[in-house]
Each structure stands twice: as structure tokens, then as C-alpha cells.
Amino acid sequence: MQRVAAFFALVGAVALVTWQTGFTPSQVLSVTVFAAFIVGTLLYWPFRLAFAFVGVAILLAARLVDIPHLIEFASLDVILFLIGMMTVIGFLEERHFFEAAVEKALPYVGGSAYTLMGAIMLMAFVSAALVDEVTSILFMSAIVIRIARRFHLDPVPYIIMTVFATNIGSSATVVGNPIGVLIALRAGLTFPDFLRWATPIALAALLLTIALSFLYYRRHMHDLHVAIHREGLAGAATRGEAEEPAAAAEASGSDGEGGEGAHERRGSLLFPSLLFLGTVAGLILHKQIEHWLHLGTNTMLVGVALAAAGIVLFVERHRARELVERRVDWWTLAFFLLLFASAGTLRYAGVTEHIAQGMVRLTGGALTPLLITITWSIGALTSVMDNVLAVASFIPIVGDLASQGIQVAPLWWGMLFGGTILGNLTLIGSTANIVVLGLLERHERRSVGFMEWFWPGALTSIPSLALATLLLWLQLPLLTR
């Protein structure tokens, strides 16, 4: 009953504020429906798709959007990209490609707790950048849990540090996070653009996060250091795998099948390696491919993902349908599609233009205040709601700022870092956080309290986002050239 009261109170407050600040009746209704969609999603997360369906139906019935614009706002390019990449990543997970790569690398990191956790955090960063945050945290958390079990340590501090690196790594490239895909396709940014502007800042944020995490968890790092010197690191990552195959399979996202077929999928890594390298190379070179074929910007960003998925389905043949049905998160994609359509309706109704004009009046149109406002507003929203929700709400606003002649290139990057780095602040700040909490509860019977996450999250994410904001500000002359 309290949540019902909170739902109507929050939605009513949004309607009242928009009415009092000069919005037209149609704009008030559009904002109210969108607020009901967002608040309902946050308060009743399992029913988020139901809220999405009902919200879009109301927008259509109230003539706040028509079918052609609904399709335009639905961001089908983003959805198609995610379908392709989910198919490829699902195939690689079932072949245990990522797990094998990490396990082969771990024995070479040395015998110190600091080099071990530094290497794990770096691998989490790189894997999130090259695939996505959820895939990265699935196999990295499985490795960390095995190490903690080997040394009889509480896995939570080490898991949290790994999640921090994963979320930061998801900002380094266009494929690391759905919001990166959304921003790239809306802003016309390419994979090389991310390598130039996002990756160096993400690396700087990672180094600061590693240092601050080691400081906060210095007692746990000492315990790991003592355990490594007492028992040795060799086999820590892989020991116990034979004893607990079901848990390892579930943590890595595999189907847990036994027998000859499962063994063959794990043992044959040549094709998965070639597929992974080819897909990454195609994504990096998509701009050159578009130039050679005289295609529009980012056409082959989507095309490479779909081509790689097609190759996977040819290889899988009889298991192709099963792979697509199980590995593509259709529930989430349907939610994203309706979310993007609903957020686009705000622009169609003139709401985002009204907000953009208000921001210009508040900041005088100066780029530095706008950069700080956008970056930290997205970050604050991300810490209490899904980052895709936060970014999807702001993209039309940035688009309207651009239509008023404001140079918005730095704002896109501010949105990216606000939506990823400050996801480390709370338990629900990113999808990776929620996924790893479920893994801990399922496999370790260990729950994490809000403050247990918040204090290390605050110590690391706030300075890291401040550093990212500073580095963007220092590069404003280059970004606006």
C-alpha cells in the first residue's frame, strides 16, 4: 500500500510541477505518462514491461504520438545492434571463451594481492569494454568467487572492486554498455571516436578507482596477501571447478550441459577466438568500411554485429533457434524499445525543447555549466535508477540544445561517464551490480547491505566522475573544434 501511495504521490507531484512551470496541457500529460512509466518501473521492477506497454498505449490514445513517430523514436538501430551482439556473446559464453582467456592470464600476474586484484580489475575493465558489462561481470565474478573460496575469504570486497572496474570499462568503447550504443547512434559517434575520447578518460578513472579501492579495502587486501603467500596462487582461479560445475556454469551464463557436447564446446576455442577478434576488428574499422562502401555514418556498426550473429547461427545450425531464444534478452529489448519510444514522445510534444531552453537560461548557454549539469544530473539519476532510463530521458534534451546552436559534443561524453561511473555509487546503479548481487545470494548465500556498498561506492565513484569531468573540461577546446 505504501508503494501505491508513493507512486501516485510522485506522479502527481511531477504533474503539478510541470503545470505550474508553464507547460501546455498536452505537454503536462506527456510528462505525467512518462513519469508514471519511470516511477512504476522503479517501484515495481518485475512489472516494468507492463508499465511500458500501458504507457505507450496511453500516449497513442491521447494522440501525443502517432505510429510513424513511435517507430522512429523506438531506436530500432540500437535494438538490432544489441540483438546481434547478444547472439555473438551468448555463443562465446557457451564455448567458455572468456572464462578460458581469463584463467590462462591469471597465473602470470605474480604472487601479490595487489598485483592479483589489479590484474583482475584491469581484465574486468578490458572485457567490459570489448563485450559488455553484464557478460564481463558474469565470468569475472565466477573467477573471483573461486579465488575467495580457495583462500576461505569473504568474496564481497573483491567482487565489489571487480564490479567497479567493470562499470568503468563499459564506458571505454561503444559496445561496453547499451548507453554507449544509444549515444553513438544518436550523436553520430564512431568506435574510433570512443577510443580517442572515452578510453583515455576511462583508464584514468580506473587507475584512481583501483587506488581508492585498495585504500578502502586495505584490511581485506592484507588478508588476501597473507593467504597467497601462505598457500600460493597457482590453481586458485581454477581449483574447485571440477567440484562445483553447476555453480560455475550458472555464474558464467552457460546452460550447464554435461557430456561430450559440452566438453567439445569448451575445448574448441579456435573458431570462438577468430570470431571474437573479427567482430572487434569489424567494429573498430566500421568507419573505414562505410567510407569504402559509401554508406551512412554508423551503418556498419549495426552491420558488423548482425553479420557476426549470422555467422554464429550458420555454425550452430540445429541449435541456432535455441541460441537466439535463450541468449537474446527479449524481455529487456522490448522494454528498451518502448522506453526509447516514450522518451522520444517528450520531444515530439515539445517538452524537451522547453527543458533545454530552461537550461540555457539557467546556465547562460555557457558550455562548462552545461557540461557539469548534464554529467552530474545523469550520474545522480543513474545511482537511483537504470542508466538506460536516465540517458534515454536526456538524449532528446541534448538534441534540442544542439538545435539552439549550442556545441553539444562534450555533453554526449559527459552523459556517458555520468551514466557509467556513478553507477558504482549504489546497489542498483547498474545492471552489473544487480547481476552480481544475485550471484552472491545464489552461490554464496551472502547478501550485501546498502551501506556496505554505498561507502566504497562513494569513495571511488565521486572522485572518479570528478576526474572524468575535469579531463573533459580540459579538452573542451579540442571537443568543440
Domain that holds residue 100: 65-479
Q: Could you count the other beta carbons within 10 Å of the beta carbon of residue 111? A: 12
Does residue 17 lie within any of the structural domains?
no
CB contact at 8 A, 308 and 88: yes
Does residue 53 lie within any of the structural domains?
no
Instruction: Please return the burial class of 69, using the count of CB atoms within 10 Å of its CB with bins 0-12, 13-18 and 19+.
Output: middle
pLDDT of residue 50: 93
pLDDT of residue 232: 65
Q: How sure is the predictor about 214, in pLDDT bands with cuts at 50, 70 and 90?
A: very high
Mean pLDDT on 449-475: 96
Task: Kindly state the greatest CA–CA separation across the chain.
Answer: 70
Does residue 95 lie within any of the structural domains?
yes
Q: How sure is the predictor about 222, in pLDDT bands with cuts at 50, 70 and 90?
A: very high
Does residue 23 lie within any of the structural domains?
no
Pick from 37, 42, 52: which is nearest to 332 by CA? 52
pLDDT of residue 237: 52
* CA atoms of 218 and 161, how far apart (whole Å): 12
Does residue 25 lie within any of the structural domains?
no
CB contact at 8 A, 376 and 461: no
Does residue 24 lie within any of the structural domains?
no
pLDDT of residue 147: 87
pLDDT one-digit tens code per residue, 372-412: 999 999 999 888 777 887 888 889 999 899 988 899 999 99
- Could you tell me which residue, 463 or 257, shows the higher pLDDT? 463
Q: Which long-range contacts (CB under 8 A, 24 or more apart) does 330-333 make?
A: 331/49, 333/79, 333/82, 333/83
Altogether, the residues listed in the chain come to a count of: 481
Does residue 405 lie within any of the structural domains?
yes
* pLDDT reading at 423 higher than 50: yes
- Give the number of domains in the chain: 1
* CA atoms of 252 and 246, how far apart (whole Å): 10
Mean pLDDT on 195-215: 97
CB contact at 8 A, 403 and 360: no
Does residue 54 lie within any of the structural domains?
no
Unique residue bearing C-alpha cell 572524468: 468
pTM assigned to the model: 0.78
pLDDT of residue 41: 80
Percent above pLDDT 90 for the chain: 49
CA distances from 238 to 58, 113, 452 (A): 53, 17, 28
pLDDT one-digit tens code per residue, 326-354: 988 898 889 889 988 888 888 888 888 88
